[in-house]
Chain A
């Protein structure tokens, strides 16, 4: 469904066009408006749905909305209780937010790749990338937030000295202090990076394949995009789930005092 302009630029142009964000600003102060807009809208959707359920929440017979919300709550709560044994008011809501938000981000991937850019072009918007998780900024924003929480809780639970001790003296004892420090730092820093890159990589690749399929003749497209979309339903849920579970695990590790 490439438009005239993109056809002239060829397949590469089409792909680049689809993976370029709508941005304003220069250098570091560039803002990806599409990422900000869609993630905010999806976040709002998530909050609206759960707020509706929460407002009508009763201990009696639940309605349809409440039922669904409670199902997710129970699901998240089970995950949290499985790996986190402390008492925290933050972790469960955090996990729920991460799961739902990431899932909604990823879900945008299932819309046909050209629908939103087409609507955008009709409204005069040249570039539009609708899947926030194909933007490194979105995934890193989340993983860096989680990383900050990890550091915060590590220091809060173990104390600054306790945390420093853990960094310096584990796992090989005080005689190999520099080595321990290096290992621990890599381990800690690997957490946000792996979180962000895993989600980004999966969704970016998925989106790329959808775009590639969209370049094929129309009679082949359904044969390929249909199974890929079905497979993708699994991927988007799985990625959201992984992000959530790893967040819980990292935070429970931060809570554990050795």
Chain B
């Protein structure tokens, strides 16, 4: 029961145990704990960052989509406008062409009328001459009476 040299032996053992624990046991175990804590913290931070990035990406995607929609509607509007323009243009062209055709046709008709008139005049002049010849019984010198003939034929036209 009394205090004796066992005390010293126990103290030495205790000192050795503490020294060993301090040197070889506590540091590696504690470090691994700290490292794991850090790893977990890093992982959580990374996960959070990833989530944020997803939100950002979604926002960006929405923006891009909106822009694309705007662009496409713009394109459609433009195309419609262009189509209208083309229709208008072709309408104009058609109108002009028609008018041109009409003008040409009229000119042709006019020309043909003139030709027909000319022909008729000639014929009438010829007829009148032949009729006058027959009436006068004598051949009228065509060269001599050119003025008269042409006057008549002018009157006929």
Contact = CB atoms under 8 A, between A and B. Distances in A.
Nearest to B4: A30
Interface residues of A, number: 49
Contacts of B26: 73, 92-93, 96
B6 A97 contact: no
A54 B28 contact: yes
Interface stretch (A107-115, A131-139, A213-221, A229-237): A131-139
A135 B10 CA distance: 11
Interface stretch (A42-50, A118-126, A160-168, A176-184): A42-50
Tell me if B's interface is mostly helix, strand, loop or mixed.
helix
A35 B7 CA distance: 10
A58 B29 CA distance: 8
Contact of A47 (B9, B10, B20, B29): B20
Contacts of B28: 54-55, 57
Interface stretch (A4-12, A21-29, A151-159, A248-256): A21-29
A35 B10 contact: yes
Interface in A55-70: 55, 57-60, 62, 66, 69-70
Nearest to B37: A59
Contacts of A30: 2, 4-6
B17 A54 contact: no
Contacts of B10: 35-36, 39, 132, 137-138, 141-142
Contacts of A28: 3-5
B18 interface: yes
Interface string A82-121: 0000000110111011000100000000000000000000
B46 interface: no
B155 interface: no
Given A35-B10, A51-B25, A97-B17, A25 B30 contact: no
Nearest to A72: B29
Contact of B21 (A47, A77, A132): A47
A35 B30 contact: no
B35 interface: yes
Interface of B: 1-11, 13-18, 20-22, 24-26, 28-33, 35-36, 38-39
